[in-house]
Structure 1
Amino acid sequence: MTFLERFMVGMTLLFSLAIAPLSVMSMPYTQSGPALAIIPPWADRKATLAQAGLTEISPGRAPFGVLVQPDPSIDLATVRENGVWALLDGTLIAAICGVKNA
């Protein structure tokens, strides 16, 4: 395999790894059921969630993500203004993680 072929394979892998998270982040939250709130790890989790009107429902937490139950009437713009980077559909995230019937 020549250098150019290896380079093209490497660039293809790099772009596909970059596009996958972006495609998940671009999926709109359907405003039904649980959601994954992406917040900065340096922010006060409880205060950020309270200001955004979100209720934490998970016993554990990842560095950037918290499983929450949003109020169905929540305004997504208000959530983002209060420090939540993104609100992702919980059933989509569960399906990606291999959870069936979520």
Structure 2
Amino acid sequence: MTQRVQYLPAILAVVFCLTVTPVLAIVSAPVKAGGPVLIVARPGTDLTELVETSGGQVVGVTQAPLAVMGASESEDFEKRLKRNGAWAILDGEALAWLCGDTI
């Protein structure tokens, strides 16, 4: 039993790396101008209004409680989203790739 336990830290480290690496790739992916983005905001924010006020439009029909997909042809869309209260803006194409879909 003690021989198996000694490998537990190595196994946990491998599992952690395999699950965290794709998430870090998504978070660090640069946002492409004109492409879809995932906009994350605080609870209670009207996400549709946030996107439209920032000069974009909501993409898709499903919204999560804290996030929505949006797009805009404007090059400063990301800056306006942050100025209007977005917590994070993630690349929508990279997120779709992680989910096994293509945009």
TM band (smaller chain): 0.7 to 0.9
- In structure 2, relative to structure 1, the CA distance for the partners of 1:16 and 1:41 (3 Å cut) is farther
How far apart, CA to CA, are the structure 1 residues paired with 2:49 and 2:74?
20
Aligned mate of 1:9, from 11, 16, 20? 11
Name structure 1 gaps, 5 residues minimum. none
Deviations 1:5-27 (A, max 9, x none): 11221133124323331221110
Runs of 4+ aligned structure 1 residues displaced above 4 Å come to none
Specify the SS of the correspondent of 2:89: strand
Amino acid in structure 2 at the alignment position of 1:80: K
What TM-score, normalized by structure 2, do the two folds share? 0.74
Name the larger-Rg structure: 2
Any residues of structure 2 matched to 1:1-102 within 5 Å, and which? 1-100=3-102, 102=103
Name structure 2 gaps, 5 residues minimum. none
What TM-score, normalized by structure 1, do the two folds share? 0.75
Specify the SS of the correspondent of 2:85: coil
**How many residues are paired up?**
101
Amino acid in structure 2 at the alignment position of 1:71: E
